[in-house]
Structure 1
Amino acid sequence: MNRIFAFVFARGGSKGLPGKNLLPLGGIPLIGHSINIAKALPQVEKVFVSTDDAEIKKVAEQYGAEVIDRPAELAGDKSPEWDAWRHAIRYLEEAGEEFDIFLSLPATSPLRAPMDVDAAINALDGNTDAVITVTPASRSPFFNMVAREEDGSCRILSPSNGYSRRQDAPEAFDMTTVAYAVRKQFILSSDRLFGGRVRSVLIPKERSIDIDDEWDFVFAEALYKRTRQ
């Protein structure tokens, strides 16, 4: 049987929304929401928070997660999270911790439901290296998304399509940070997520908010209050 470990990657710095990972939503810090979901899933054996920040470490431990010390060079604005994933795996392997399925639950998606994470885990079959979560996009690169130059001129992102109506364009989806279920060995052997066989699980918009800036947080607060009345 596959052993599943859950991870929350939460660095201290955030330009879009300072202190983002510890912001309280409904009285619970964002990383607390991710930890609580992971601990509520019976198939998840252990929960880890990878961080470079002392306060995040303290809060993670208060919510019952184990902490992985994240090196500063893997915690910058331009540091690929894939490298932090690899570091966490190797850190645990050196500590003698063996597992099969790597489950990432970013703190930026606090409105996820346990069934959303269950769906991602269950979709990771023998023909799949990784499962991502997606939600219907409000815009399509085939019809109404453009690239804009400094002088204001713009062009359609996918000009060679010939679609004249939005309804005729292929349906597009936004990747969400609800969950990533990935085979551990795939992370160690590949240099990118889409270097393997990737499947997706569809998440409703009301549970797929990805908090990146202040307005995202305001929207998340409104949805959180509405769904818990």
Structure 2
Amino acid sequence: MPLIVYSILYAQKHNFIDVVYISTDDVAVREIAQKYGAKVIDRPEAISGDFVPTVSALKHVLEMLDGDVENVILLQPTNPLRPENLLSEAFDIYQNGNHDSLFTVTRNHQKFGRIENNKFIPFNYTIGQRSQDLEPLYFENGLLYISKASLILKDVIVSENAFPMVVTHPFSNVDIDTLEDFDYAEYLLNRK
């Protein structure tokens, strides 16, 4: 099943999502999206490609739609695996907490550093410190984003006041950018 289908089917399971849109400049992606019931917005070449920020595509979709949109939920195809109840829980937090945006994060338990002049300089620990004693650091895992449409029209997906929803599920480590990432996602999917 193509990666994009996982996000389409996941979105369609939630009755608070009115319409699923796919923004693309690719004919094959268009056909797949339509086959699975998503509406397609043709993305102009000027805002397509690997180096264009996602917010450009989201803003374009909003500008192409008739009528008002209050909230936008972004489910990226490179994060095809999501816990079953994640979106429902996130949307409840988003609405009940009166947030303007929400995104998912996961705690990182690694010791980070940088190399300068062939010397390792620790970033989040001191040499010899136990991993269990590290100050909690989190990374944006890309599983989902929820934002007010008004923010996106200002070129913002995640505001300074966004709610960081912590996800501890193994799927939070799946962001497919390489063949190794794909293999890991396939391994997790087959375990389920």
TM-score between the two structures when normalised by the length of structure 1: 0.75
1:155 equivalenced with 2:121 (yes/no): yes
In 2, the alpha carbon distance for the partners of 1:166 and 1:67 equals 46
In 2, the alpha carbon distance for the partners of 1:224 and 1:171 equals 28
2:153 is paired with a residue whose SS is helix
- Equivalent of residue 74 in structure 2, options 99, 104, 107: 104
The answer to whether the 8 A contact 1:129-1:196 is kept is: no
The alignment of Structure 1 onto Structure 2 pairs a total of residues equal to 190
In 2, the alpha carbon distance for the partners of 1:193 and 1:46 equals 19
The residue that corresponds to 1:20 in the other structure is none
Matches within 5 A, 1:102-141: 102-125=72-95, 127-139=98-110
The answer to whether the 8 A contact 2:23-2:40 is kept is: yes
In 1, the alpha carbon distance for the partners of 2:161 and 2:142 equals 18
Q: 1:152 to 1:52 in 2, by over 3 A?
A: farther
1:225 equivalenced with 2:190 (yes/no): yes
Moved over 6 A (4+): none
In 2, the alpha carbon distance for the partners of 1:162 and 1:223 equals 34
Q: Which moved more, 1:106-115 or 1:54-63?
A: 106-115
Amino acid at match of 1:134: V
Aligned-pair identity in percent equals 29
Using the TM superposition, give the Cα deviation of residue 158 of structure 1 relative to its aligned residue in structure 2, in angstroms.
5.2
In 2, the alpha carbon distance for the partners of 1:67 and 1:173 equals 34
The residue that corresponds to 2:7 in the other structure is 34
The residue that corresponds to 1:205 in the other structure is 169
Unmatched tracts of structure 2, length 5 or more: none
Once superposed, what is the RMSD of the aligned Cα atoms?
2.2
Unmatched tracts of structure 1, length 5 or more: 1-27
Using the TM superposition, give the Cα deviation of residue 170 of structure 1 relative to its aligned residue in structure 2, in angstroms.
1.7
Using the TM superposition, give the Cα deviation of residue 102 of structure 1 relative to its aligned residue in structure 2, in angstroms.
0.2
